[in-house]
Amino acid sequence: MLKKLNEDGFLTGSIIFFIGSMIVNGFNYLYQIIMGRMLGPEQYGVLGSLFALIYLVVIASTAFTTVTSKYTAQFAAKKQFGKIHYLISHSVRKIALFGLIPLGFSLFLSSHVANFLKIPSTLPVIIVFIIGYLSLIIPLFTGALNGLQRFKKQNISGIATTSLKLLLGITFVALGFGVTGAIIGIIAANIVGIIISFLLLSDIFKTKKKEINKKQVYGFVIPTTISMLILTAFISLDIIMVKHFFPPITAGMYAALANLGKIIWFGSSFFAMVMFPKISAAHTNTKNTSKLLQKTLIFAGLTAGSGIIAYFLIPTFLLNLLYGNAYIGAAKYLGWMGIALGLFSLNHIMNQYNLAIGRTKHLWILAIALLIEIIAILFFHNSLFEIIKIIVFINILTFQSFIIYNRNELFEK
């Protein structure tokens, strides 16, 4: 049975990626937990809203991970390593240069963003935008490692970056720099991540560059970026809107709920990272991809379901253990937040699958769902539970739409 499950290397790749992801996510959540305890609910609400901005930039920029992973997998399947060299080096130059434009525009708007989030200083917002600029470059290297299915090396880069972020965050907050100290170390961690990833791809950079069809790549960048922006907005805009509509302490509690909910997503979404290059390579070689999609959804669903059960059974214990007694007032909502993020992880997998095989019409599903979510929260935000129910409903609606859109692959025997 296990041999059959692993006949395409999916299970082995998933285990390797799972171990690395758990370590990386462990550092990320240890960071959030320690910051939540050191800063307290009110200041942690500020940090949560800043991280929502970071997620908007960082996760949206994973569009570059997806694009690089897709074409790296295709080139690797045909042993065209010179094209991989060209893809990475050309992309880094272009993005590093043109990324200065949105960075400058963002810095100009930093005071307005700080006012909307009710943050007294613009410095943390400025730091967030600098992090965003660096985060445009990192996904290019991550995507190349993923497309080459070098999951161990990809884990090395992630572990080094997140562990350094944790260490520097604790140090600067302990020195009295508050929220600003909590995020300033991320800049140094990102730079280290870029250097390590570059070294891990040194063999590719030693090959002779061979030009690629740039128009084809650029054509895929646009729909991929749109999809990542929409998906990021799904798990970020609610935190920003809660920070705007609710008192600081309530916003801090919601930030804690959202971060615990993301454990469900991160714990199951790594299957999508393993699936994507395999689907892309299989599709390039005209092989059937339905079985791998079904397998990914089953593994992700089981993983997410296990976490959701725990969130319903021991929510107070988990919140008190991880964030402290000041946050347990939100415990009754934890299970529902787990459902929301569990469903989101399945929608994320469906998006990645469609992008891997070159489909883009599903973006209408995501765009309409996001619009409904924003409008619903604008009109209905009397309580945190009301917002969480909206997010659950929207994710159910989105997944049902994907079932219809991908019915041929999902129900193929």
- Coil, strand, or helix at residue 1? coil
Per-residue three-class SS string for 284-302: HCCCCCHHHHHHHHHHHHH
Whether residue 357 has pLDDT greater than 50: yes
Higher-scoring residue by pLDDT: 227, 21: 227
Long-range interactions of 373-378: CB distance < 8 A, separation 24+ = 373/234, 373/237, 373/238, 374/237, 377/237, 377/238, 377/241, 378/241
Q: What percent of the chain has pLDDT over 90?
A: 11
The burial class, CB within 10 Å (0-12 / 13-18 / 19+), for 95 is: middle
- Average pLDDT on 113-133 reads 82
Percentage of the chain modeled with pLDDT above 70: 92
Q: What is the distance between the alpha carbons of residues 122 and 185, in angstroms, rounded to a whole number?
A: 17
Check if the beta carbon of residue 366 is closer than 8 Å to that of residue 63: no
Q: What confidence tens digit (pLDDT) does each residue in 47-58 have? A: 877 877 776 666
Q: Hey, how many other C-beta atoms are within 10 angstroms of the C-beta on 194?
A: 17
Task: Convert the pLDDT of each residue in 281-310 to its tens digit.
Answer: 777 777 777 888 888 888 888 988 888 999
This prediction has a pTM of 0.67
Please state the φ and ψ torsions of residue 192, each to the nearest 5 degrees. -60, -40
Average pLDDT of the residues in 268-272: 73
Whether pLDDT at 207 is above 80? yes
Give the C-alpha distances (Å, rounded to integers) separating 373 from 162, 239, 351, 386.
Answer: 31, 13, 18, 12
Does 218 score more than 80 pLDDT? no
Count CB atoms within 10 A of the CB of residue 317: 12
Q: Please check the confidence at residue 17 and state whether its pLDDT lies above 80.
A: no
Asked whether residue 393 carries a pLDDT value surpassing 90, the answer given is yes
Read off the pLDDT band of 278 (50, 70, 90): confident
Q: Quick check: 129 pLDDT over 90?
A: no
pLDDT tier for residue 3 given thresholds of 50, 70 and 90: very low
φ, ψ for residue 99, nearest 5 deg? -70, -15
E strand or H helix that includes residue 328: none
Q: What is the mean pLDDT of the chain?
A: 82
- Look at residue 109 in the predicted model and tell me its pLDDT: 81
Count of domains observed in the chain: 1
What separation, in Å, do the N-terminal and C-terminal C-alpha atoms of the chain show? 17
Domain assignment of residue 356, given as a range: 2-410
pLDDT tens, residue by residue, 98-119: 888 878 887 888 888 888 877 8
* Torsion over CA: 241, 247, 252, 254 (sign): negative
